[in-house]
Amino acid sequence: MPQRPTLLGARGVVASEHYLSAEAGLRILHAGGNAFDAAIAATLAEGV
């Protein structure tokens, strides 16, 4: 199994299958959204 780097976050973390969906969730967090908002954004981005 390939190893992935360990990442640390000080203001929030979003994990998903693809980096672009994680970025969508992270943008929601940076814009003032909460964890639920970020989860919805990441899930919707996964479906695209």
Q: Within a domain: residue 44?
A: yes
Here the tokens at position 13 are: 């973390």
pLDDT tens, 1-48? 678 777 777 888 898 999 999 999 999 999 999 999 999 999 999 998
pLDDT at 6: 75
Here the tokens at position 36 are: 């639920």
Q: Within a domain: residue 40?
A: yes
Q: Within a domain: residue 6?
A: no
pLDDT at 3: 81
Question: For the chain, how many structural domains are there in total?
Answer: 1
pTM above 0.85, yes or no: no
Q: Within a domain: residue 11?
A: no
Domain that holds residue 24: 16-48
The residue type at 13: V
The residues, ordered by sequence, that sit 6+ positions from 37 with a Cβ below 8 Å of its Cβ are 28, 29
pLDDT at 34: 94
Q: Crossing angle for the helix pair 19-30 and 35-46, nearest 10 degrees?
A: 150
Q: Within a domain: residue 42?
A: yes
pLDDT at 41: 97
